[in-house]
Amino acid sequence: MGKAMGWYWAFFVLGLGVISSYYAGAVIPLFGEFATLASSLVFIVVGGTMMFVLVKARRQQPTDLATSMRSVLGAFTIVVERPKVGTGGIVRVINTLGFYAFVVFLSTFMIHDVGLSTPEWQTVWGTLTLSNIVANVVLGYVSDKIGRIRTVAWFGGLLCAVSTPAFYYVPKLLGPNFWAILVVGIVYGAALAGFVPLNAVMPALAPHRVGSALAILNLARGEPVHGTCGSRARGADRNRRNALGHRRPLCHQHRADLRPAHPGH
């Protein structure tokens, strides 16, 4: 399961992070921001067409309204019946903040405060996500060998606790040193991949309610993305100071709570 989720997230990040970042970094200087944004419609049309043509959905038996409502309510009652599922959701929120919300103010900080150019920062972020892709696959295999909780705690929690403040202190000490910041980005991208096994841990925490457990996982993944809109309005400066000190220690705090009752995970 860990290997499968590693490959899934590798291709997810390949499109969302690597290709998009390098594409924007190359096209914006030539055509401008608005034209680059408009060109995204081409990718949307191609991707949508591929989904309808290549993906064959399985036929499912229709369900009645009562069954659907029980399924929806089960996604919320599971956190009461299985508190560890709720804890896993909290860890997932912290992880997702690091990928989606962090970049909102980190981009402003690197370009306006540190002094990197927009193409340089696009290259850093693209390389960061490229590192994340490779680590997604590698740590998927590692988690099946050493345990999923250990992978989340040590590769995800510990490495993020080191690399997150490094984004602030390395430029503060070395200035707009592109290569030093690039190294920090590579480490941080690999660290984020340490949370990939959560996708396998959550079903193991509720083996008879897999759908509800995955619903909490998806809910936790979505909330930081919505919160990103508000963080931009509140100002990058305050968010930078708050985030650097408080994000990753929570992952170690919840490590014991996440461990499934049965061994092997």
Q: What angle do CA 202, 204, 210 make, to 5 degrees?
A: 70
Question: Residue 238 has what pLDDT?
Answer: 42
Q: Is residue 59 part of a domain?
A: no
Interval 112-133 mean pLDDT: 88
User: By the 8 A CB rule, do 104 and 96 touch?
Assistant: no
Cβ atoms within 10 Å, residue 141: 13
Q: Residues 15-31: what's their mean pLDDT?
A: 82
**Total domains, the chain:** 1
Q: What is the pLDDT of residue 232?
A: 43
Query: In this model, does residue 50 exceed pLDDT 70?
Result: yes
Q: List the CATH number of the domain containing 21.
A: 1.20.1250
What is the structure's pLDDT at 19? 81
Alpha carbon distance 51, 168 (integer Å): 40
pTM of the model: 0.66
154-181 pLDDT, tens digit per residue, is 888 899 999 999 999 999 999 999 999 9
- 185 burial via Cβ count (<10 Å: 0-12, 13-18, 19+): buried
Q: Kindly state whether residue 63 falls inside one of the protein's structural domains.
A: no
Q: Name which of 16-20, 22-26, 218-222 the model is least confident about.
A: 218-222
Rounded CA-CA distance 100/91 in Å is: 15
Does any domain span residue 265?
Answer: no
Q: Which domain holds residue 139?
A: 2-53+81-258
> Residue 65 falls within a domain, yes or no?
no
Residue 60: band (very low, low, confident or very high) from pLDDT cuts 50, 70, 90: low
For residues 261 and 68, give the distance between their C-alpha atoms in angstroms, rounded to a whole number.
29
pLDDT at 77: 78
Could you tell me which of 1, 188, 217, 200 has the C-alpha nearest to residue 106?
A: 188
92-121 pLDDT tens trace: 888 888 877 888 889 899 999 999 998 899
Residue pLDDT, tens place only, 203-255: 778 777 777 777 777 777 665 454 444 444 444 444 444 444 444 444 444 44
How many whole angstroms separate alpha carbon 208 and alpha carbon 252? 27
- Residue 129 CA to residue 123 CA, distance in Å, equals 10
pLDDT surpassing 50 at residue 59:
yes
Is residue 195 in a domain?
Answer: yes
Contact 99, 192 (CB under 8 A): yes
- Residue 35 inside a domain? The answer is yes
In a domain, 165, yes or no: yes
In a domain, 60, yes or no: no
Q: Where are the alpha helices (DSSP H) in 147-177?
A: 148-150, 159-174
| Selected residue with higher pLDDT from 80 and 137 | 137
